[in-house]
Structure 1
Amino acid sequence: MTAYVLDQYYLGVTALVTVAIQLLFFVFAVIFKTDKVTDFAGGTNFFVLALVTLLMCGTYHVRQIVSSVLVMVWSIRLGGFRLFRILKSGKDDRFDEIRNNIAKFAAFWVGQMVWVWTVSLPNTLGNSPRVNDPAQGGRDVPFGNGTDIVGIIFWALGFLLEATADQQKYTFRQKRSTPIEINRFGIWRYSRHPNYMGEILLWWGIFLLNLQPSLGVGATWINSRVLWAGIASPLFTSVLLMFASGIPQSEKPSAKKQFNGNNWPAYQEYLAETSILLPFPPALYRPLPVWLKRSLGMDLPMYQFDPASQSPEESVAINKGSDNPSS
């Protein structure tokens, strides 16, 4: 009975497909001792889930097609770009400390399974027969209502922001004169993490796009509740990027690199005038009170680097004027 209920919303089949894909790539990565396929595996997984759930349902309503295509376009862009980037660089720095530790490396792949399956939820539920097939209580809610339009706008803005930020960051790194040069190129002048903002925004868009059937007249009670479960996708993305593997793993190491590279005053100026997430004109952001930057701007104390946390060895290197960042 449980398996039947899960299959009505494709929760079971998408979990099995996700485990199979990630396990396949994990085995490949272990055998060939490479981390070049990790991000490609994630992008491929998103694409496969969107395509398989659309084809399995077989109803092909406009909303299903639009949502699935948007997810697939995003996955191709992100997976392709990251594969290109790692092939050019030769390795992924994120795995320097776990590349040769099979347990830690496996833990990453398990985390990627959870990430793909959870973030795909709005599209998975939106493609399910229980939502779309009249024989199972579903219905085709006319496309083009308010949440559809807002969802597509959110996705488009987020996709454009993420793609532009990724390309500009790659270009900056190819052209920068020193490793501690601060990135103020393009959209990075207005946000310290515009790529993360874009990804958060576009998944809120996918959630809103797939929410509409639950709001339609005549929607069943169960569908009107289950489709709201898709909110786990943008919430998970937001929490992951803001409190786990995104900003926290970038802010302090970047600040430490600037501090150890004797560029701390300039970097403090950069922090004071550059929004951490939402793009904002520096001239308007700088005079904002700290409490507003922390509350509405989400520039939280947890992201701040404390120079006093430096080890004695690092402090000696700094006092001698070392220009070789330790991170």
Structure 2
Amino acid sequence: MNSVHWGALAPNLAAAAGAALAVLLITFAVAVRRGLHRIVDIAWGIAFTAVATVTFLLSAGHGDDGRRLVVLAATALWGLRLAAHIAHRSRGHGEDPRYTALLAKAPGNQKWYALRTVYLLQAALVWLISLPVQIASYSTAPLGPLAVCGITLWAAGLLFETVGDHQLARFKADPHNRGRIMDRGLWAWTRHPNYFGDSLLWWGLYLIACTSWPTAAAALISPVTMTLLLTVGSGKRLLENHMAHRPGFADYVARTSGFLPLPPRRPRSRTGG
């Protein structure tokens, strides 16, 4: 059964792209003025919130109001919490080493290189990953069991991400932990509880959008792309490359799951049998 107003969704795709692009271009202008490109990380969650808000307004009269409200609230709560967390975490710090290394490779003007490889790319990713939010908002089907499963998965992901961020912030706030590897709480079960939670909640948003086989197929690229970004893209891979030289990190990697939460592995015995 076709439960989505595809004709009404089409102009929304363009409006969502415009919203994401506007947020990232404004961020680019601020970053250039301040000489600090790390603020683009704050704009990530804000851009998703902008897309969800524009979609909610344009989908009025085209989709089920309950589903529209759920995806707006879910996206905005996640996006604004993430933006606030990153803003607080980066306060008083200089440029992120990732962006310093990236801009050092610029073949020409660093400013325009950053625009192409960071800001425009992130705007495109926001649009692509937000497809479940856009599609769900134009679905006429009322919330059902699959949507409830999606909401539950989203809530579990947000909780995992929030608790992981809070535990890490408390650990870093203690001067006695300076230079040490965080391996407590959720961080004893996965090296990236925040990334795992991020992935989980986007799979939840995907389930909320799945009201028919066409919607399931159209929206699938979103959680797949987000998960790949977090595991082999700019998330886990780059962070672990940056941390590889830190004392104790190799032992932490040996006993702790890289992404999915699993019981810590016991260290191997060094004695022969």
- Alpha-carbon contact 1:200-1:237 (below 8 Å) kept: yes
Q: Does 1:229 align with 2:233?
A: no
- Alpha-carbon contact 2:190-2:257 (below 8 Å) kept: yes
Matches for 1:100-111 after TM superposition, within 5 Å = 101-106=110-115, 107-111=117-121
Q: Which residue does 1:300 correspond to in 2? A: none
Q: Which residue does 2:246 correspond to in 1? A: 257
- Alpha-carbon contact 2:9-2:135 (below 8 Å) kept: no
Which residue identity is paired with 1:81? H
Q: CA deviation at 1:81?
A: 0.8
Given candidates 63, 69, 72, the residue that maps to 2:67 is 63
Q: CA deviation at 1:141?
A: 1.8
Q: Alpha-carbon deviations, 1:208-256, whole Å to 9, x = none?
A: 01112x2xxxxxxxxx414521111100011111111111112233222
TM-score, scaled to structure 1: 0.71
Given candidates 22, 37, 40, the residue that maps to 1:38 is 40
Q: Structure 2 vs 1, CA of residues 8 and 110 (structure 1 numbering), >3 Å: closer, same or farther?
A: closer
Q: Alpha-carbon deviations, 1:25-60, whole Å to 9, x = none?
A: 212211232235312222221111111111111135
Identity among equivalent pairs (%): 30
- Alpha-carbon contact 2:150-2:206 (below 8 Å) kept: yes
**Higher relative CO (CA 8 A, sep ≥ 6), structure 1 or 2?**
2
User: CA separation in 1, counterparts of 2:60 and 2:233?
Assistant: 38
Q: CA deviation at 1:9?
A: 6.0
Which residue identity is paired with 2:182? N
User: CA separation in 1, counterparts of 2:146 and 2:231?
Assistant: 25
Q: Structure 2 vs 1, CA of residues 11 and 75 (structure 1 numbering), >3 Å: closer, same or farther?
A: same
Q: Which residue does 1:177 correspond to in 2? A: 176
- Alpha-carbon contact 2:36-2:94 (below 8 Å) kept: no
Q: Structure 2 vs 1, CA of residues 124 and 76 (structure 1 numbering), >3 Å: closer, same or farther?
A: same
Range 171-180 or range 48-57, more displaced: 171-180
Q: Secondary structure at the match of 2:181?
A: coil
- Alpha-carbon contact 2:231-2:259 (below 8 Å) kept: no
Q: In structure 2, list runs of 5 or more residues that go unmatched.
A: 1-5, 105-109, 269-273
Which residue identity is paired with 1:196? Y
Rg larger in 1 or in 2?
A: 1
- Alpha-carbon contact 1:7-1:13 (below 8 Å) kept: no
Q: Structure 2 vs 1, CA of residues 255 and 124 (structure 1 numbering), >3 Å: closer, same or farther?
A: same
Which residue identity is paired with 2:68? Q
User: CA separation in 1, counterparts of 2:39 and 2:245?
Assistant: 29
Q: Alpha-carbon deviations, 1:66-105, whole Å to 9, x = none?
A: 1111011001100111111112434433322346722432
User: CA separation in 2, counterparts of 1:287 and 1:67?
Assistant: 43
Given candidates 123, 129, 153, the residue that maps to 2:133 is 123
- Cα RMSD for the two superposed structures: 2.3
Q: Structure 2 vs 1, CA of residues 104 and 165 (structure 1 numbering), >3 Å: closer, same or farther?
A: farther
Structure 1's consecutive aligned runs of 4 or more residues displaced over 4 angstroms after TM superposition are: 4-7
Q: Alpha-carbon deviations, 1:238-276, whole Å to 9, x = none?
A: 111111111111223322233xxxx4xxx4432232111
Q: In structure 1, list runs of 5 or more residues that go unmatched.
A: 132-139, 215-223, 289-327
Q: Which residue does 2:15 correspond to in 1? A: 13
Q: Which residue does 1:27 correspond to in 2? A: 29
Q: Structure 2 vs 1, CA of residues 7 and 149 (structure 1 numbering), >3 Å: closer, same or farther?
A: closer
TM-score, scaled to structure 2: 0.84
Q: Which residue does 1:83 correspond to in 2? A: 87
User: CA separation in 2, counterparts of 1:277 and 1:211?
Assistant: 25
Q: Secondary structure at the match of 2:209?
A: helix
Q: Which residue does 1:316 correspond to in 2? A: none
Which residue identity is paired with 1:127? S
Aligned length: 255
Q: Structure 2 vs 1, CA of residues 52 and 94 (structure 1 numbering), >3 Å: closer, same or farther?
A: same
Q: Which residue does 1:141 correspond to in 2? A: 141
Given candidates 262, 265, 270, the residue that maps to 1:280 is 262
Q: Structure 2 vs 1, CA of residues 40 and 247 (structure 1 numbering), >3 Å: closer, same or farther?
A: closer
User: CA separation in 1, counterparts of 2:71 and 2:120?
Assistant: 26
Q: Structure 2 vs 1, CA of residues 55 and 6 (structure 1 numbering), >3 Å: closer, same or farther?
A: closer
- Alpha-carbon contact 1:155-1:204 (below 8 Å) kept: yes
Q: CA deviation at 1:178?
A: 5.7
- Alpha-carbon contact 1:6-1:12 (below 8 Å) kept: no
Range 4-13 or range 183-192, more displaced: 4-13
Q: Which residue does 2:271 correspond to in 1? A: none
Q: CA deviation at 1:6?
A: 8.0
Which residue identity is paired with 2:232? F
User: CA separation in 2, counterparts of 1:71 and 1:235?
Assistant: 17
